[in-house]
Amino acid sequence: MRYLYIVLLFLVCLPAAAQDKLPPPGKQKDSTQFRKRNLQQAQATDKSESITRIEEYKIISYERDTTFLDTTLTIQKEYKYNFLRRDDFELMPFANIGQPYNRLGIDLERSGLYPALGARARHFNYLEVEDISYYNVPTPMTDLFFKTTFEQGQMLDAMLTFNTSPRLNFSIAYKGFRSLGKYLYSENESGNFRTTANYLSRNGRYALRAHIAAQDILGEENGGLSDKELQFESEDPEFQDRSRLDVFFTNANNKVLGKRYYLDHRYALARKRDSLRNTSLGVGHEFSYETKYYQFQQNAQNDYFGSIIISPIDDKATLKTLYNRLSLDYSSKLLGTLKGFVNLYQYDYYFNSILITEDETIPNQLRGDEIAVGGSYSKQIGGFSLDGELAYGITGDLTNYVFDGSAKLKLNEKHEIGFSAHSSSRMPNFNFLLYQSEYTNYNWNNSNTFENENVQSLKFSLSSQVWGELMAQYSTTDNYTYFSSNATEQQIADGEENAYVTPKQEGNSVNHLKVKYAKEFKFGKWALNNTLMYQNVSQSNMVLNVPQLVTRNTLYYSSNVFKNAMFLQTGVTFKYFTSYTMDAYNPLLGEFYVQNREELGAFPLLDFFINAKIRQTRVYLKAEHFNSSFTGNTFYSAPSYPYRDFVIRFGLVWNFFS
């Protein structure tokens, strides 16, 4: 009930407090007209159900795609109102926020040219270069995101963007949270600081964008429930208090910490614009320096991970990278945009000491320089667009090549089709190649034995206002790299499965088909939003496990209420995925590993939500997994890790201007 009182309080107070009006006109004539137009647009759209976009407040992605500030309340906003602030349809979260997500869907394409540090299960909240946005705004704008967590904590993501002139824009943002969690020793917290700059010279020849990011992600690790059959699946009333359940260990935690400095700038050497020609010749430079480490600490040995070399346990893998790209580009209205580039990548992945055993010597470092050359091309002719990029490594051992190509055709205002292809040959992440730990079995050197992962992928997409959204992707990979346990059945029965987790490469091809379809049906003020995903894996050995079917269906009602002072949206979301041998989680590595002994899934997830929009403020109230008490304790995010029970959470997103 306390959440209902909070909602009612916001509904009463926010119409007076929410600052959706833009600031008064400035002294300059152009600025006055600009702000008046903005004010009229914001006031007009606030009185209707239509989309509210303040078009002058621009958000620019890493790929230089430009979108506008959108203050509407839609079902897609509901799907993105979570810890990651993106649609998590293909993910299965753990019980506490900030913990890992198990995968319900997979994309085998390689997004980066070079291997990453590893510890992928702890990187969902880590903002990479491609995740940073830049801004171009006429007046200061603030975005506030707030949401309650699980016991003794809150989550806040605050961003302020402003300019010192129409050509120079800055932003500063911080996302922080703390959540104790319902289960013992599962506390998580993180801080993601980032600041950006976006500049364009007066004559338009020089453009610059830059950012600094400092991030730390900390979490306690309990290894999951030590006796899930008795304490969880039995549904014994004595164990309804989740803080009383026994877990595997009480003295472990891991951490991801990273700092990055990024700069991307370009100077137009020649430019000609007139009614007949629009050409440009420019030189560009992209720079990134990042230091990152993953650390696992435990103050005493635990048989869960096997025997140790030394105690206490303090494993730390560090990666320092320096990236430079020099490019020369030419663009014209007739030929499109053609770019050639040279990449220089320097890496230093290391541990603190060399490990010498009776059988082998484990080095403490992988270090080297990579040089790659390549080019990209893009062209748009009416409703047809073509894009492609190829990078080929000429020195170094990490990357052979990466190719991406895509084509889109807009058939008319309601229909668009697209095709894309991907091909890459690259080494797996560094923690597959080299790792050192105080635990005896977690030491390996595969840098000279593992081969490049080779991936080929084809994708088709259809975007239609009539038929919905359809995506079909077929991928094949050779030398698929994964973690799995070598433990025997007896060792698994003794709770020692994680003591024998090692990296492996599959010698046979792994083929993956994914078909995803989304469509919404409207009936007056009611709507049914559906997303369905089908997957099929063809493989000689069970090394890639995903559910065959995942569905999400939302029935909701939308309407203006209180004489159009508030826009209300309420409904129920149903999510389900078929049972499969869900990957298990290894806290020491911060990775998921393949297991083929236990099938999980095939349980419903039902959420009830009430969302409201008052001017530029969106208020969210959700009863998450409200069916947990009457559909049985079979819901898991990974083996021994139950999903969250029924909980009510509240939050808001607030944009205001000054």
Which 3 state secondary structure label does DSSP give 2?
A: helix
Residue 29: pLDDT band (50, 70, 90) is: very low
Residue 16: pLDDT band (50, 70, 90) is: very low
Return the half-sphere exposure (C-beta side, CA atoms, 13 A cut-off) of residue 314. Answer: 5
Helices (H), ranges, 93-151: none
Strands 510-523 and 501-505, sheet pairing: unpaired
Kind plus residue range of the DSSP H or E element containing 436: none
pLDDT at 356: 86
Helices (H), ranges, 332-380: none
Tell which residue, 656, 635, 657, has the closest CA to residue 228: 635
Tell me: pLDDT of 251 over 70: yes
639 cis-preceded (ω within 30 degrees of 0): no
CA 654 → CA 46, 48, 72, 109, distances in Å?
Answer: 15, 19, 11, 36
Residue 274: pLDDT band (50, 70, 90) is: low
Number of folded domains that form the chain: 1
Q: What is the pLDDT of residues 378-429, one digit of tens each?
A: 999 989 999 999 999 999 999 999 999 999 999 999 999 999 999 999 999 9
87 contact partners, CB below 8 Å, separation of at least 6: 76, 79, 80
115 contact partners, CB below 8 Å, separation of at least 6: 398, 426, 427, 428, 429, 430, 433
Kind plus residue range of the DSSP H or E element containing 37: helix 29-46
pLDDT at 32: 33
Three-state SS sequence of 279-312: EEEEEEEEEEEEEEEEEEEECCCCHHHCCECCCC
384 contact partners, CB below 8 Å, separation of at least 6: 407, 408, 409, 410
381 contact partners, CB below 8 Å, separation of at least 6: none
Rounded CA separation 482/506 (Å) = 8
pLDDT at 34: 33
Q: Residue 521 belongs to a domain with what CATH number?
A: 2.40.170.20
Domain that holds residue 440: 2-657
Report the chain's mean pLDDT, rounded to a whole number. Answer: 90
What value does the mean pLDDT take over residues 286-306? 96
Q: What is the pLDDT of residues 433-450, one digit of tens each?
A: 999 999 999 999 999 999
Tell me: pLDDT of 4 over 80: no
Tell me: pLDDT of 5 over 60: no
pLDDT at 276: 59
In this structure, how many other beta carbons lie within 10 angstroms of the beta carbon of residue 364? 14
Rounded CA separation 453/507 (Å) = 11
In this structure, how many other beta carbons lie within 10 angstroms of the beta carbon of residue 487? 19
Rounded CA separation 382/304 (Å) = 61
CB 430 within 8 A of CB 351: no
Amino acid at 24: P
What value does the mean pLDDT take over residues 293-316? 94
Tell me: pLDDT of 10 over 80: no
pLDDT at 238: 87
What value does the mean pLDDT take over residues 460-477? 96
Tell me: pLDDT of 72 over 70: yes
Tell me: pLDDT of 162 over 80: yes
pLDDT at 112: 86
Residue 270: pLDDT band (50, 70, 90) is: confident
Which 3 state secondary structure label does DSSP give 366?
A: strand
User: What value, to the nearest 5°, has the Cα angle with vertex 622 and ends 173 and 613?
Assistant: 65
Residue 590: pLDDT band (50, 70, 90) is: very high
What value does the mean pLDDT take over residues 517-530? 97
Higher pLDDT, 5 or 397: 397
640 contact partners, CB below 8 Å, separation of at least 6: 223, 224, 225, 226, 228, 248, 584
What value does the mean pLDDT take over residues 589-606? 96
For 68, phi then psi, to 5°, come to: -120, 155
Tell which residue, 599, 602, 629, 639, has the closest CA to residue 226: 639
Residue 332 structure tokens: 């014209």
What value does the mean pLDDT take over residues 107-126? 94
